[in-house]
Amino acid sequence: MYQYESSKALFERAQQSIPGGVNSPVRAFKSVGGTPIFIEKAKGAYLYDADGNQYIDYIASWGPMIMGHAWEPVVTAIQQKAAGSTSFGAPTELEIEMAELIKSMAPNVDMVRMVNSGTEACMSALRLARGYTGKNKFIKFEGCYHGHADAFLVKAGSGLATFNIQTVPGITAGAANDTLTAPYNNLDAVKQLVAENKNEIAAIIIEPVAGNMGCILPQPGFLEGLRALCTEENIVLIFDEVMTGFRLAPGGAQQKLNIQADLITYGKVIGAGMPVGAFAGRKDIMQYIAPLGNVYQAGTLSGNPLAMIAGYTLLKELKANHGIYTELEQKTEYLRNGLDRVCKEAGIPYTINQLGSMISLHFADHAVTDFTSAAATNIERFKQFFHAMLKRGVYLPPSAYESWFLNHALTREDLDKTIAAAAESLKEIA
């Protein structure tokens, strides 16, 4: 039986010095209740907590650990690179190699700027779109999360959905006034916003496959419609691929869904677990970025050697070995089929959304296609399911508003254990 005494003691102590005891809200277990698990180490598909419990990991650090934890080539590369110093604040050849590697994998990318998080990537891409078009307003989608820059914290997903935060203190009207929102998968609502704000909209930013209200797929024609609208109206289409980039395919969602954005943001996988983000796209837009252009954007640690060698080592493998994506997709489909079977046997209402190695299980008798339908699922049942799985050694994202992420180190045995744990958990919570 799992016991969490050390995590409980650590959480008590953490709360004396860190707001909420965590350095990012979604880790606090607030929406599922209970004590957040303090992790001591991880290897492959497994996490080991401060009490020595082992878990099969379906968070993968919210996406980055696509090869599994402590993947040897990345660990070795970081160790070796650190011996030559951890940062210079000056250009390096490795940054050129990283940019060239990204250009060789992601469609439609002429230039890349490295930053240190997905938040930085998205806020910079929005500023660039505004500088390029000379327009101020932009459209985001309810339930999508693009990091915590002021303009994006309007009807956002991830932790804001988890904690049902509608308005965030500290964000001024000035910062949020130019943010327009529409329901995901609702092209008519977007067309109406564009008509009502003619020639005022700089950008439409979207998670091409949403992962911050659970996993939600674009419906046929939705992204194609956004693409056509942006082309017609001189609006910059920004794909926020912080989650999907290099996860759904070597070329991310642009390749998987065969749709080209104007700017693309990256994070997570691109850094292999190190703090890395990037924004990228067509040269005619990217050339507006300082020092080439006047749209200022900067970062002391942007492109630092450790982050670059980690991301470069991982992306090289993903580029060379496309079988990783095939296997990840097969494993995710195997998990999906298993969850389908046990949910049907348990006789409970559920729906599963999945694309590639992104998947989410929603306790609902309706399709989950946008934030409203995601919020109408049985959150309480997810909470019970989460803890029933945790005590059986399966670590799911601690929120119904998050996608699960599979990693390459998961074995068929791990998947079977997960499916068996789900069957027992569903019986327990029925």
The set of catalytic residues is: 145, 240, 268
Looking at the Cβ atoms of 74 and 243, the one nearer to ligand KE4 is: 243
Q: How far is 339 from 41, CA to CA, in rounded Å?
A: 28
Binding mask 59-78 for ligand KE4 (x = CB under 6 A): ---x----------------
Residues 6+ apart with CB under 8 A from 187: 221, 222, 225, 226, 229
Residue with Cβ nearer ligand KE4 (239 or 392): 239
Comparison of 125 and 429: residue with beta carbon closer to ligand KE4: 125
For residues 287 and 240, give the distance between their C-alpha atoms in angstroms, rounded to a whole number.
20
Minimum distance of ligand KE4 from residue 158's CB (angstroms): 4
Place of tokens 């050129």: 96
Rg of the chain on CA atoms, in Å: 21
SS3 string, 322-360, reads CHHHHHHHHHHHHHHHHHHHHHHHHCCCCEEEEECCEEE
At 419, the amino acid letter reads I
Of residues 261 through 320, those in contact with ligand KE4 by CB under 6 A are 267, 277
> Per CB under 6 A, does 212 bind ligand KE4?
yes
Cα–Cα distances in angstroms (integers) from residue 186 to residues 31, 84, 183, 224, 304, in the given order: 28, 51, 6, 12, 40
Q: Contacts with ligand KE4: how many residues (CB under 6 A)?
A: 21
Out of 31, 108, 124, 158, point to the residue binding ligand KE4 (CB under 6 A): 158
Return the number of the residue (403 or 419) whose C-beta is nearest ligand KE4. Answer: 403
Q: What is the DSSP letter of 275?
A: S
Among 187, 209, 243, 270, binds ligand KE4 (CB under 6 A): 243
DSSP character at residue 406: -
Tell me whether residue 60 or residue 419 sits nearer to ligand KE4 (CB atom).
Answer: 60
**Residue span 110-149 as binding mask against ligand KE4, x where in contact by CB under 6 A, dash where not:** -------xxx--x----------------------xxx--
- Using CB under 6 A as the criterion, which residues of the chain lie in contact with ligand KE4 when the complex forms? 24, 26, 62, 117-119, 122, 145-147, 158-159, 207, 211-212, 240, 242-243, 267, 277, 402
